[in-house]
Amino acid sequence: MMPELPEVETIRRVLAKKIVGRRIVKAEVRLPNPAASRLSQNLRQQTRRLSRNLRGASIKRISRRAKYLIVRLGEALLIFHLGMTGQIFVIRKKEHTHTGMPELPDKHTYFILHLSGDSRLYFRDIRKFGRIHLIMKKEEKTFFRALGPEPLSAAFTPESLRSGFKRKKASLKSLLLGQKIVSGLGNIYTDEVLFQVGILPQTPGGCVSGKKIAKLHKAIPRILKEAIRNRGTTFSDYYDPESRRGGFQARLRVYGRQDEPCLKCGTRILKAVIAQRGTHWCPRCQK
DNA sequence: CTCGGCCTGCTC
DNA sequence: GAGCAGGCCGAG
């Protein structure tokens, strides 16, 4: 997996079951090499706060904002962003590990929470695009200030989309990926949403009709919810913190289906780079 | 706004 | 060896 909103939400739900109510016995940072890497810098910057403030804290609640996972500890919030390859595992010390699950901690494991009840949370990130932050509750608003409305909340409205797209000549693909007009969509779900709404990803934001905006506003939460119901999308060997795979990959309509027939009309699905990301669409269903 | 850069590992 | 990968940020 690489996590967009549905995958992070799936992880949130698993963590809520597994670690809420537990106490943090110790927080362990394992700085990656090279020391100049951004994850290493991020962890070094946060490491004192992490080890000083986490010990003894108890986990009250797990929440999510867009693709950020938030472990609520009362006044403090421990925030994870998983980047492209971040993973979180929770296992008991003696628990039999799943086949396909890495031996933990391995060389890609950069943060460990030792929890009461002999369980541990491992943060692992092969490409090191992930980040960890510890902030105070009062800083939460500022921390997330750049994010657009949460697509599964009432803050997300046709009007918020309309004003975001207004007079923009950037493509819908880049606008939806940008996290500013609406947050939580990544490369997969952006392609899926645009297919279901029947709009080409290269359409400039300013050229989208009110009718399409209304359809888009309905399709975004619908698809995200469908993906969450299926525990997100899993490629290759991803496992959520419970060692389970997602199931949405079987329901993808365009993502990864280049050269295959469109499920609606049979036309060959195209793929090209748009907004620097591999983008999939049906040239007949999307106008 | 677009682009390159950040990272490692996998596939061709 | 090149190109690609589910994200994001900062430079120009």
Out of A49, A225, A271, A277, pick the active-site residue: A277
Q: Quick one: average pLDDT of A158-178?
A: 97
Least confidently predicted of A9-13, A99-103, A126-130, A175-179 = A99-103
Q: Is A67 a catalytic residue?
A: yes
Please give the Cα distance from A132 to A143 (Å, whole number).
12
Residue among A235, A163, A150, A252 nearest A205 (CA): A163
Please give the Cα distance from A228 to A5 (Å, whole number).
8
CA angle A224, A221, A133 (to 5 degrees): 65
- The β-bridge partners of A271 are A280
Please give the Cα distance from A35 to A14 (Å, whole number).
32
pLDDT, tens digit (0-9, with 9 covering 90-100), for A202-240 = 999 999 999 999 999 999 999 999 999 999 998 866 667
Q: Is the CB of A34 under 7 A from strand B?
A: yes
pLDDT reading at A44 higher than 60: yes
Residue listed under structure tokens 């991020």: A42
Q: Is A150 a catalytic residue?
A: no
Q: Is the CB of A127 under 7 A from strand B?
A: yes
* Contact (CB, 8 A) for A202 and A170: no
What b/e readout covers A203-231, taking b as 16+ CB neighbours within 10 angstroms? Answer: bebeebeeebbebbbebbbebbeebbebb
Q: What is the pLDDT of residue A251?
A: 95
* Closest C1' nucleotide to A276's CA: B3
* Total-model pTM: 0.96
Residues whose beta carbon sits under 7 Å from strand C: A 1-4, 7, 66-67, 81, 83-84, 127, 129, 146, 177, 179, 186-188, 232-236, 238, 246, 276-278
